Structure 1
């Protein structure tokens, strides 16, 4: 394993998976799909609430979007312990990465059939694409401590996010050309251009994923046989991880902090476009351009936070600063009224959104026992924590929004960040001497 760690070709191939799958994160969850979904489920009357019928029930359209994602995250949280248990036993993380990649990529291709008359089909493919994206990350993240030593994990994690932003922006620009100039490409309208963009995301994702599939190493656990019950072993391993974490105050407090601020981070990123569309009535072109700028700002943000964490302040101090910025962004979101204010808020979020994700992952990786071989179980715990947080975050956003309006949902997100901040301060008090560089 030491020969694998810090190998340049291995690290680049690992980062290319971010290049491959981040197109989903940008096009499907952040820009074109939310705008398209809002357009085909709206009556274009700003004085009314837009409702949709799904499986015999009536929902506010934005709430159905939130509930669909919450459902997908719940499924991932339930099945990832089982999958990571098998991956640890057989050493086949790459096989599971492939399965979820093909599931997500093909589901994105299936969204080409999503229109006003096929809401159920669209939501099902949307859920499957979400399952594919987040399911693959369980095993992608588990590779980090296998391919990088503890002193390199911040920069390697940031490199993955950087590759992801660059790759996703390239495809996004191609999709923009289709959406903004559909007739030039022989397309009927923006709707057809949007559906073509969803298809291209699937092709891009599956195509570039072949690079990590070709070069990422096979784990040394490949020769082991499965013992015990594969449907329960994963949950026993998660309990084992938690039992271990309970005796490590810094790890336990980090996980609590991560749980609460993740409720806010991912939810904000997933609903930002819906917020701009419904609360500020921004057009599709303005929203998409805003998200593109947001992605470009995120690249120096992620690299800058990695630098500050490694060379200046340590991971925990940087995370504290970033969470404070997120709290300010949520408060600002409640009061934002103009287009300019929205752009300023988007730029602020862009600077910190990539950094908090990459830094959280590398901080957690540093806290793990470095001689451990079952990294999938530890990162399964990390991913389950994040997915359960997302279930609460997306559900609460949709539920509060349905009852009291979307702006009040933003206030709830701010409260999640505040709780996470408290645990980060408690984490500093539990800082072990051997991890001074982290905190």
Structure 2
């Protein structure tokens, strides 16, 4: 028996999952763990005869994680689209991510580098893998007229929840005595990792209790469902030849996404290593960045309304290039605060604008005025492409960092991703869609 649509308790439960897992994205991948990692790991070390810097090793951890995620995303999408097992897989990835996050408490230095590395990888895979099944619940619990509002509610709850926990963590790191923790040592920071893991697992459990139970489809094996994901991606790949504007936009998106995501992941460790930012200072930077990003998304939308999506993307990419160049020369904390504000301004803008532009170029067919586009397949392709871009960007960053020992040079090279994106975008034309009935 199918679950009733638009049930208030179910919808609130779905949005609550964003509240649960967004803490990992903000606290672990951006604010606290990267600078802690840089501090705990030797600046240069060898593994299996190969030379690494602490920042290149961290970049490679992200590369490996997203390589695994990109490889398995089509399988996961196929399982999600085939239906019937969303909840069990969402629970599995959530537990995996939460336990990976909790294990970071035991990462205390070079002798436990394997714990910090493995815990971060498992947490990142659990986070990104779970999103596939979380997103697939949307059409199962709500009617199409509720999609936009419900998605916005999830985003808002994720933002508010993660910021609340980050503020608590800021207090924990700066005033450990308030929490009965020692004033010196790493315990306060490691306790922050525990709070994220517990927050994620506890609130996700509440969310899962409100989502509809699995209804496995008889006669549909796991392998068959997984294969469906690859079939959907191949179908989109083959259709791209018939839709050159979508193909041109995706080429530009792939290039500049490699730069965007790499900077977002590695900005904190850059500030810690190159400018000696303290953890509490970086938390403040991330909070500013998050707030500015919201305004940046609305600003990008406004520019798009006035001058069009392509012009707005050009503005965003120009600012990203300037960020890379200025980061190479930055020498003081005040300068970095200004650069971080610029990142926040274009971080939300480039992501929201890219998604809305893509929605306008994917093919649409109508029948009696009813849109028939297979948007799930096209956005699954978009999602996988972004993950592969992260693999490329972080790998190149890590390779150059290990080769030259300079994070500044690595960030400067990232400007090429944005420049190539602009050149590819110059061949792209966004024309108003003409709907025929």
Q: When the two structures are superposed, what TM-score results if normalisation uses the length of structure 1? A: 0.85
Alignment pair present for 1:291 and 2:292: no
| Aligned with residue 319 of structure 2, among 297, 306, 325 | 325
Distance 2:351 2:41 in 1: 31
Alignment pair present for 1:30 and 2:30: yes
Distance 1:278 1:168 in 2: 25
Report the counterpart of residue 399 of structure 1 in structure 2.
399
Residue 68 of structure 1: how far off its partner (Å)? 0.9
Residue 292 of structure 1: how far off its partner (Å)? 1.8
Report the counterpart of residue 73 of structure 2 in structure 1.
80
Q: How does 1:75-114 map to 2 (within 5 A)?
A: 75-114=68-107
Residue 234 of structure 1: how far off its partner (Å)? 2.7
**Quick check: 1:182–1:190 contact (8 Å CA) kept in 2?**
no
Alignment pair present for 1:253 and 2:270: no
Call closer, same or farther: CA 1:228–1:27 in 2, change over 3 Å: closer
Residue 225 of structure 1: how far off its partner (Å)? 2.7
Report the counterpart of residue 278 of structure 1 in structure 2.
273
Alignment pair present for 1:361 and 2:361: no
Distance 2:359 2:210 in 1: 22
**Quick check: 2:23–2:200 contact (8 Å CA) kept in 1?**
yes
**Can you list the C-alpha shifts for 1:331-356, whole angstroms capped at 9, x where unaligned?**
22122122111010001111221232
Gaps of 5+ in 2: 365-370
Call closer, same or farther: CA 1:329–1:339 in 2, change over 3 Å: same
Gaps of 5+ in 1: 43-49
Residue 432 of structure 1: how far off its partner (Å)? 5.0
| Aligned with residue 191 of structure 2, among 187, 191, 196 | 196
Report the counterpart of residue 341 of structure 2 in structure 1.
347
Distance 1:347 1:148 in 2: 38
Report the counterpart of residue 336 of structure 1 in structure 2.
330
Q: Secondary structure at the residue paired with 2:45?
A: strand
Distance 1:306 1:8 in 2: 30
Report the counterpart of residue 20 of structure 2 in structure 1.
20
Distance 1:156 1:423 in 2: 34
Distance 1:38 1:418 in 2: 30
Distance 2:307 2:156 in 1: 21
Residue 397 of structure 1: how far off its partner (Å)? 0.6
Q: How many residues align?
A: 422
Call closer, same or farther: CA 1:156–1:231 in 2, change over 3 Å: closer
Report the counterpart of residue 45 of structure 2 in structure 1.
52
Alignment pair present for 1:128 and 2:127: no
| Aligned with residue 207 of structure 1, among 191, 202, 205 | 202
Call closer, same or farther: CA 1:345–1:325 in 2, change over 3 Å: same
Call closer, same or farther: CA 1:151–1:207 in 2, change over 3 Å: closer
Distance 2:160 2:332 in 1: 29
Q: Secondary structure at the residue paired with 2:276?
A: coil
Alignment pair present for 1:235 and 2:230: yes
Residue 139 of structure 1: how far off its partner (Å)? 3.5
Q: Which moved more, 1:22-31 or 1:251-260?
A: 251-260
Q: Secondary structure at the residue paired with 1:187?
A: coil
Distance 2:321 2:338 in 1: 15
**Quick check: 1:264–1:414 contact (8 Å CA) kept in 2?**
yes
Aligned-residue RMSD, C-alpha: 3.2
**Quick check: 1:157–1:358 contact (8 Å CA) kept in 2?**
no
Residue 286 of structure 1: how far off its partner (Å)? 1.8
**Quick check: 1:138–1:383 contact (8 Å CA) kept in 2?**
no
Distance 1:120 1:424 in 2: 42
**Can you list the C-alpha shifts for 1:366-416, whole angstroms capped at 9, x where unaligned?**
5365535682x4333222111110111001111111222111111221111
